[in-house]
Amino acid sequence: MAGAVGIVGCAGRMGRMLVQMVLETDGLTLAGGTEPAGSDALGQDLGALVGFADIGITVTDDAAALFAVADVVIDFTIPEATVQHARLAVAHNTAMVIGTTGLAPDQQAVLADAAQHVAIVQAANMSVGVTVLESLVQRLAGVLDEDTDIEIVEMHHGAKIDAPSGTALTLGKAAAVGRDVSLDEAGVFTRHGRTGARARGTIGFAALRGGDVVGDHTVIFASQGERIELTHKASSRTIFAKGAVRAARWVLTQPPGLYSMHDVLGLTA
Ligand code: NAD
């Protein structure tokens, strides 16, 4: 199905990648892009913004006008903006794909309300590979009992300011769901000094930092005599944009609801 895609936050790191990817994707057209008032990008041609030839559509701060003409809007901005955009999606009956992270519970509630009227895909990690890994981890954790120790190791570039990564936590949650336990109770986030033996049923985390690593995650299932290791390595942020564009195509044909990347990939059936 052909679709006109709007990109809010089009001059951001993800926004630029998305503009480029939509322009290069058959069957999708670019409806426009927005940035907030005061942004240097306002008035620039969207093609030129990503190093392509001019396409005759400029960056504006008029999000309402974009929602009025787009079939689906992709949002990788900031939580405050995403909430406003979700309200516009309802007003203009426009589907959304939301990658913005860090929404507070009241902001998340606005998205849930909006999803009663329009179709929204929301995921903290839009990578197809990570979504598949989560699904595998949940399934394995359910099959292997607590004789199997689960450890999650992640590595990111040295400039990352939080640990463990959001994706490592998501993988930990998937393991906890598979085991029918709560990550708050089962998670072990630090080990230093005389820690004592590993407690049965815990899910351990280790975070490594260095260099320019985009994001590596390994989930280890270790038992007496054997070990399974599942690893995902990201070498480019384009995986998030690719997943978001795949979600945009998918959401165009969906009824109202709040969907995840698992739904997009058919992993929830
Ligand atoms: P960024 O700061 O480079 O880009 C954000 C853009 O949004 C900026 O250009 C900013 O001007 C714009 N913006 C802010 N308010 C706006 C408004 N009201 N209207 C229009 N544009 C507005 O950040 P980024 O690295 O592109 O990440 C953006 C968000 O996406 C973050 O929350 C990040 O954590 C998240 N993210 C999610 C995934 C995923 O897979 N879900 C992947 C990467 C990043």
Write out pLDDT tens, residues 102-151.
889 999 999 999 999 999 999 989 999 999 999 999 999 999 999 999 99
Q: How far, CA to CA in Å, does 88 sit from each of 8, 39, 122, 218, 252?
A: 12, 21, 16, 39, 17
pLDDT 10s digits, 72-116:
999 999 999 999 999 999 999 999 999 998 889 999 999 999 999
160 labelled catalytic = yes
Write the CB contacts of 166 (distance below 8 Å, at least 6 apart in sequence).
101, 124, 125
Tell me the C-alpha distance between 2 and 180, whole Å: 41
Other Cβ atoms less than 10 A from the Cβ of 13: the count is 12
Tell me the C-alpha distance between 3 and 216, whole Å: 33
The preferred substitution site among 7, 50, 76 for testing ligand 1, maximizing ligand atoms within 8 Å of CB, is 76
Residue with the smallest CA separation from ligand 1 atom 17 is 36
pLDDT of 1 reads 57
**Count, residues in the chain:** 269
SS3 state of residue 238: helix
- Using 70 as the pLDDT threshold, list the residues of the chain that sit under it: 1-2, 269
Angle among Cα 203, 206, 209 to the nearest 5 degrees reads 155
Residue with the smallest CA separation from ligand 1 atom 35 is 100
pLDDT of 162 reads 85
Residue with the smallest CA separation from ligand 1 atom 40 is 125
Indicate the residue type of 13: R
pLDDT of 144 reads 96
Residue pair 58/49 in contact by the 8 Å Cβ criterion: no
Classify each residue of 44-81 as buried b or exposed e, where b means 16 or more C-beta atoms within 10 Å of its C-beta. Answer: bebbebbeeeebebbbbeebebbbeebbbbbbbbebeb
pLDDT of 161 reads 85
Residue with the smallest CA separation from ligand 1 atom 8 is 12
Angle of helix 128-143 relative to helix 166-179, nearest 10 degrees, comes to: 30
Q: List all residues whose CB is within 6 A of at least one atom of ligand 1.
A: 8-9, 11-15, 34-36, 39, 63, 76-78, 81, 99-102, 123-126, 240
CA of 122 to the centre of ligand 1 (A): 14
pTM over 0.85: yes
pLDDT of 166 reads 86
pLDDT of 223 reads 97
Q: Which atom of ligand 1 is nearest to the CA of 240?
A: 40
pLDDT of 216 reads 96
